[in-house]
Amino acid sequence: MPFGIAQIGKAFRNEIAPRDFIFRLRELSQMEVEYFVSPAAWEQAFEEWRKLMHLFAEALGLPQEHVHELEVPAEDRAHYSKRTIDFEFDYPFGRKELWGLAYRTDFDLAAHANASGVELAYLNEDPQVGEEKKFIPHVIEPSLGVDRTILAVLASAYREDDMGGEVRTYLALAPKIAPVKAMVSPLLKNKPELVEKAHEVRAELKKVHPAIAWDDNGNIGKRYRRQDEIGTPFCVTVDFDTLGETPELKDTVTLRHRDSGEQERLTVAEVAARIRAAIE
């Protein structure tokens, strides 16, 4: 004690009017933690989880100025809750509930004990100051909607800018959560020597992370745009300089950064280090 049980699964609700894309659904995915604590420790545990949820939002790339806490008044809380905080997010369609954090007291285990006749009290062998020797554990419950979280991440990451006289759309996903960490591409797919070298580079980068994509379809600009749209933070291009056309650039590649579009010339080892630093 304390200890927690985490689960994720499907939930269903009789939603009359599903709307706002994946925000309000009849079938949804839900994550929650049942965190058991002593009655004397609930306030400290509640505060720790409150801070952790803010850190989680930050790790997902949600701007802190768009994440708000609503202290739910007693008349609006569930009957078993002594304290509830709703975490709200500024979606494009307005400020809406994102996650919840509730102090459920001993309601859950007390209800199970009463219904089953099984003793569910915890015997505290080493009570701290203010703790009881024997008690029914109290529960802190962080509850997070998966679909709403994904929608908040996408809304936060969506960007449009002007690049080369054209409007570019991209997802500024945090590298840690980007589904593809980098894309490797030969400058020309009809040059076997470039293709072979690019496969070697990709194999090296996959030692850092397995989600290293390959794309040789279309021109290099279109490949960049495709990766921008799915939030890939880095694009790596193998060209003739990699093969030694310019001797001082032999065994280097071009690393393109998604958000700025800037490119730099690096060795494969340096590229691997950049990717590793971004996703750790």
106-120 pLDDT, tens digit each = 888 888 888 998 888
CA distance linking residue 23 with residue 151, whole number of Å: 7
| 162 within domain boundaries | no
| 163 within domain boundaries | no
Question: In terms of domains, do 11 and 139 share one?
Answer: yes
Helices (H), 19-165: 42-59, 107-116, 146-157
Output the CA torsion 127→132→136→142 (10° steps): -70
Question: In terms of domains, do 71 and 147 share one?
Answer: yes
| 40 within domain boundaries | yes
Strand segments (E) across the chain: 3-12, 27-37, 67-71, 83-91, 94-103, 122-123, 134-135, 138-145, 158-163, 166-171, 182-186, 212-214, 234-238, 252-257, 263-267
Question: In terms of domains, do 198 and 103 share one?
Answer: no
Q: How many domains does the chain have?
A: 2
Question: In terms of domains, do 137 and 260 share one?
Answer: no
The pLDDT, as a whole number, for residue 127 is: 66
Question: In terms of domains, do 200 and 137 share one?
Answer: no
Indicate the range of 54-68, 120-134, 240-254 predicted with least confidence.
120-134
From 109, 127, 156, the end of a domain falls on 156
State pTM to two decimals: 0.84
Question: In terms of domains, do 140 and 34 share one?
Answer: yes
Mean pLDDT, residues 92-103? 93
Question: In terms of domains, do 263 and 225 share one?
Answer: yes
Question: In terms of domains, do 148 and 38 share one?
Answer: yes
The answer for residues whose C-beta is within 8 angstroms of residue 141's C-beta and 6 or more apart is: 32, 33, 34, 35, 100, 101, 102, 103, 104
Question: In terms of domains, do 198 and 99 share one?
Answer: no
Span 15-25, pLDDT tens digits: 888 888 778 88
| 179 within domain boundaries | yes
| 161 within domain boundaries | no
Residue 102 belongs to domain spanning: 3-156
